[in-house]
């Protein structure tokens, strides 16, 4: 390859060096084909901790990221042409170089042709899914939703609808956070197998094309081990999982959103308190197993209604989530309580969404206190939050 083309190639490769350093959590691999006449000589580059491993001509060598351009240019000078394919999550870059020219083009990996070749969405509903079969196959297969034939498993259609509905309900919240932040960090309290965390990771990075980081917390070593394995299999390096009690967790970086799905009883309160105490902007929880308030509350005018156990339990659910919403509003959050999915799917179908918008509201906190007295309740959430009234 002539000197003019090599100089231009060096410029493009230097740009890739910078991209790898800035997006190292999202870098996947580089595939290279050198050509001399009709003969092809393949090579590749992969990440090895914070360095690069260059595989070429049956040999491997470890190099610093900032030496990639010079090393590949030196190899290219011995050939007539080179085709390089750079892959990171959500984006592929092609560099073609020969004696006539050096060209670079980018392909966003949200490929419409793939979408058109899959008709699986019609087996569930007519909705336009956020997490699309075809585009998200690697993710959906890894979390057990997609079968080997590329179709959603029959017994996973409900789960697929649930995770997609979750993304739909918080999409606007994510967009607002990403307006003001180049990268956001989301903390999943009681993450379990982390399905939602992996889905949100995919959606933010590969659909919205934004940078993100995820932290999953759970007190079960087995589920944390399973989550780490899935992250490794998917190449999602922008994730960390920790075995810990939520109450003892100390954030080491700014958290932009806290999520918690089906955390039992007061575990939802622990997640909300963690968010409030760390001045987190957005909170999304889907509670379940509302036991605390059920054992506490009483309301004389309703005694003839509440003597029926099932009605008392349902009222306890409403009071528990309502009191959480009211306290969050008193603390300066804009709160909405919405139906997560149809109650036909699961009775655990309410979602509380909260965005910090203003300073604490003392008058609303007084209303909260008055309601506590009327109902004779003592919510754990208030005890966990560092109140500034």
| 223 and 341 belong to one structural domain | yes
pTM metric for this prediction: 0.85
Residue 198 resides in a domain: yes
Residue 116 resides in a domain: no
| 174 and 321 belong to one structural domain | yes
CA distance 81 to 35: 5
| 271 and 205 belong to one structural domain | yes
Residue 148 resides in a domain: no
Residue 61 resides in a domain: yes
Last residue of a domain, one of 64, 83, 108: 108
Query: The domain containing residue 261 runs over which residues?
Result: 165-384
> Are 257 and 184 spatial neighbours (Cβ–Cβ below 8 Å)?
yes
Residue 141 resides in a domain: no
Residue 92 resides in a domain: yes
User: Which DSSP letter does residue 259 get?
Assistant: E
**What does the block give as tokens for 87?**
């892959």
**Domain total in the chain:** 2
Q: What is the pLDDT along the chain (389 residues), one digit of tens a residue?
A: 999 999 999 999 999 999 999 989 999 999 999 999 999 999 999 999 899 999 998 899 999 999 999 999 999 999 999 999 999 998 899 999 999 999 999 886 544 443 343 344 444 556 789 999 988 999 999 999 999 999 999 999 988 998 999 999 999 999 999 998 999 999 999 998 889 999 999 999 999 999 999 999 999 999 999 999 999 999 999 999 999 999 889 888 999 999 999 878 789 999 999 999 999 999 999 998 778 999 999 999 999 999 999 999 999 999 999 999 999 999 999 999 999 875 555 556 799 999 999 999 999 999 999 999 999 999 999 999 988 76
Residue 151 resides in a domain: no
| 232 and 377 belong to one structural domain | yes
| 48 and 193 belong to one structural domain | no
Residue 100 resides in a domain: yes
CATH of the domain at 311: 3.40.50.150
């Amino acid at each position: 390859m002539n000197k003019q083309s090599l100089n231009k190639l060096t410029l493009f490769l230097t740009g890739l060096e910078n991209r790898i350093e800035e997006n190292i959590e999202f870098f996947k691999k580089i595939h290279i084909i050198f050509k001399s006449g009709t003969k092809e000589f393949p090579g590749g580059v992969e990440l090895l901790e914070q360095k690069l491993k260059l595989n070429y001509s049956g040999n491997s060598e470890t190099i610093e990221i900032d030496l990639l351009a010079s090393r590949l240019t030196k190899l290219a000078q011995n050939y007539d042409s080179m085709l390089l394919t750079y892959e990171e999550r959500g984006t592929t870059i092609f560099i073609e170089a020969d004696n006539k020219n050096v060209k670079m083009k980018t392909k966003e990996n949200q490929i419409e042709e793939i979408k058109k070749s899959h008709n699986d969405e019609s087996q569930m509903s007519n909705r336009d899914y956020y997490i699309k079969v075809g585009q998200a196959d690697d993710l959906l297969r890894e979390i057990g939703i997609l079968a080997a034939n590329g179709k959603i498993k029959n017994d996973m259609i409900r789960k697929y609808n649930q995770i997609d509905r979750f993304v739909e309900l918080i999409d606007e919240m994510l967009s607002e956070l990403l307006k003001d932040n180049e990268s956001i960090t989301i903390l999943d309290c009681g993450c379990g197998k982390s399905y939602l965390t992996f889905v949100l990771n995919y959606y933010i990075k590969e659909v919205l094309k934004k940078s993100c980081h995820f932290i999953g917390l759970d007190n079960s070593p087995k589920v944390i081990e399973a989550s780490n394995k899935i992250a490794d299999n998917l190449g999602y390096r922008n994730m960390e999982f920790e075995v810990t009690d939520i109450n003892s967790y100390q954030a080491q970086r700014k958290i932009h959103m806290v999520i918690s799905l089906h955390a039992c009883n007061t575990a939802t309160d622990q997640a909300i308190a963690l968010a409030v105490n760390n001045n987190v902007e957005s909170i999304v929880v889907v509670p379940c197993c509302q036991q605390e308030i059920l054992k506490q509350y009483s309301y004389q005018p309703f005694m003839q209604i509440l003597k029926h156990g099932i009605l008392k339990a349902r009222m306890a659910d409403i009071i528990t989530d309502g009191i959480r919403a009211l306290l969050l509003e008193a603390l300066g959050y804009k709160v909405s309580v919405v139906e997560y999915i149809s109650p036909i799917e699961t009775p655990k179908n309410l979602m509380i969404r909260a965005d910090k918008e203003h300073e604490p509201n003392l008058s609303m906190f007084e209303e909260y206190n008055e309601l506590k007295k009327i109902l004779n309740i003592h919510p754990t959430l208030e005890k966990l939050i560092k109140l500034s009234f």
